[in-house]
């Protein structure tokens, strides 16, 4: 059964330009291929449901098989946490989720996996921090396996920087009653390409939070997936992105409610600035027949700052049982709210600062979920830098809408579809 509930209009989003695309998926999310076998995934053409928004032509290096180096890895580990190589078979024995697209399966096949191990019952006062730095535009692959032991409480920060063509699988397995937060920042240099699948198998009564922060890179596609190892799990997937001209930033979330009495929230917010800025959010939620007592809600909001930018927003909610606590979604895309700007300016605040306040406020509820003050400040500052960098310099008159067949009008627009 497929359920579409009402799109919730957001006061921030007015005026908005939703149009509902007439796309009907040919299969349930449950039927999508998931496998460790590279040959199970043909090289994408761009016509596939899961690739139809993505500029696949720029990604061929990451679809090709072949050994490669990884990124430079620098870590800071609290006492008790270890980092060590792990074989593919040992990783699979932990219960990691299988790759769900060509890029992820190639990453798993090509990279030497690394295990970040957080011992059972460890309550880490400091975060585990890993900085992954690219140093060139040849293809690289990474497979990071994270095991959060039973009743542990930890935060893992993965920071992606430098110039890279990187495909990555992050496989998280959390123990019963654990509480893990993973923050992944994508602050690549211009010209970088990053395809990532970040999975979690969430333990019984465990709490898992994933925060994706994507600001830099030419093409970044981050897929965050969740499955539950038992009842009582609680998963929160969050994302913040800011796309400038020439950037394609894509976030997908897939929450597979395969166990009873689990909850999930997905909240993604993005800003777009520049005529060719492009963002995509696809949020899939599948509530299986056995997932009684599920409570889920997903939300995507996009703030279009200049003409010509395009945000696609696609919530998909499949419900196979009536015995649920709640399931909903909302999606809204709009420009600055003139009334908000008027109100702030009427208190003497100049227009550019008023816009900064509104953007900061727009992202505030997600930034607040990042448990590290220094990282929060850093990200807030980075967002404000993005905002200032091309600060409404112009709605670039050189941008010719005819040259961009995917953006049929020069106005900022969004395409929203739901199933």
Residue 382 interacting with other proteins (CB under 8 A)? no
Return the axis-axis angle of helices 351-367 and 338-345, rounded to nearest 10°.
120
DSSP secondary structure string for all residues of 21-49: -----SS-GGGS---S-GGGSPPP-S-SG
Q: Where are the alpha helices (DSSP H) in 233-301?
A: none
Task: Decide: is 347 part of the binding site for other proteins (CB under 8 A).
Answer: yes
Under the criterion CB under 8 A, does residue 364 sit at the interface with other proteins? yes
Q: Which of 362, 387, 407, 412 binds other proteins (CB under 8 A)?
A: 362
The rounded distance, in Å, linking the Cα atoms of 146 and 404 is: 41
CB of 79 to other proteins, least distance (A): 35
What are the Cα distances from residue 192, in Å, to 17, 81, 167, 215? 31, 30, 11, 12
| Binding residues among 280-339 for other proteins as defined by CB under 8 A | 337-339
Which among 165-173, 277-285, 346-354, 382-390 is the span making contact with other proteins, rule CB under 8 A?
Answer: 346-354
85 binds other proteins per the rule CB under 8 A = no
Least gap, CB of 20 to other proteins (angstroms)? 25
How many of the chain's residues bind other proteins (CB under 8 A)? Answer: 26
C-alpha pair distances (Å), 376 with each of 157, 180, 366: 12, 18, 10
Between 36 and 297, CB nearer to other proteins: 297
User: Which CB sits closer to other proteins, 229 or 367?
Assistant: 367
Q: Which of 165, 215, 363, 417 binds other proteins (CB under 8 A)?
A: 363
In 3D space, the residue among 186, 185, 102, 116 whose CA is nearest the CA of residue 152 turns out to be 116
Give the single-character DSSP code of 307: T
Please provide the distance, in angstroms rounded to a whole number, between the alpha carbons at the two ends of the chain.
10
Stretch binding other proteins (CB under 8 A), from 62-70, 105-113, 133-141, 362-370:
362-370
Q: Which is nearer to other proteins, 353 or 385 (CB)?
A: 353
Say which DSSP state 220 is in. Answer: E
Structure tokens belonging to residue 376: 């929060």
Supply the minimum distance, in Å, between the C-beta of residue 40 and other proteins: 43
Of the candidates 5, 90, 365, 385, which one interacts with other proteins according to CB under 8 A? 365
> Which residues contact other proteins (rule: CB under 8 A)?
11-12, 337-340, 342-351, 353-354, 357-358, 360-365
């Amino acid at each position: 059964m497929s359920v579409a509930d009402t799109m919730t209009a957001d006061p921030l989003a007015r005026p908005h330009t939703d149009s509902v695309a007439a796309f009907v998926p040919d299969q349930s999310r449950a039927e999508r291929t998931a496998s460790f076998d590279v040959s199970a995934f043909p090289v994408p053409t761009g016509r596939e449901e899961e690739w139809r928004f993505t500029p696949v032509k720029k990604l061929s290096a990451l679809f090709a098989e072949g050994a490669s180096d990884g990124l430079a890895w620098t870590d800071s580990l609290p006492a008790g946490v270890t980092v060590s190589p792990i074989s593919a078979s040992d990783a699979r024995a932990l219960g990691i989720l299988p790759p769900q697209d060509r890029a992820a399966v190639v990453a798993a096949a090509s990279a030497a996996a690394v295990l970040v191990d957080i011992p059972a019952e460890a309550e880490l006062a400091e975060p585990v921090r890993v900085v992954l730095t690219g140093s060139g535009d040849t293809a690289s692959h990474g497979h990071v396996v994270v095991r959060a032991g039973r009743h542990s409480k930890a935060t893992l920060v993965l920071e992606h920087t430098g110039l890279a063509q990187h495909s990555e699988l992050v496989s998280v397995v959390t123990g019963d009653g654990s509480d893990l937060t993973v923050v992944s920042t994508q602050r690549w240099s211009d010209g970088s390409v990053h395809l990532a699948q970040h999975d979690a198998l969430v333990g019984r009564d465990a709490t898992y939070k994933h925060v994706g922060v994507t600001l830099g890179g030419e093409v970044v596609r981050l897929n965050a997936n969740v499955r539950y190892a038992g009842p009582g799990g609680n998963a929160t997937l969050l994302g913040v992105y800011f796309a400038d001209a020439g950037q394609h930033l894509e976030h997908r979330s897939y929450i597979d409610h395969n166990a009873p009495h689990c909850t999930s929230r997905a909240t993604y917010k993005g800003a777009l600035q520049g005529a060719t800025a492009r963002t995509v959010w696809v949020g899939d939620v599948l509530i299986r027949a056995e997932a009684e007592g599920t409570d889920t809600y997903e939300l995507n909001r996009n703030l279009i700052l200049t003409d010509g930018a395009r945000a696609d927003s696609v919530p998909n909610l499949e419900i196979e049982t009536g015995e649920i606590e709640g399931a909903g979604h909302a999606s809204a895309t709009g420009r600055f709210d003139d009334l908000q700007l008027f109100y702030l300016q009427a208190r003497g605040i100049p227009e550019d600062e008023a816009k900064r306040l509104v953007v900061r406020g727009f992202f505030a509820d997600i930034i607040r979920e990042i448990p590290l003050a220094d990282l929060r400040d850093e990200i807030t500052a980075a967002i404000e830098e993005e905002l200032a960098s091309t600060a409404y310099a112009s709605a670039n008159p050189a941008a010719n809408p005819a040259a961009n067949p995917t953006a049929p009008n020069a106005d900022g627009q969004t395409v929203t579809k739901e199933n």
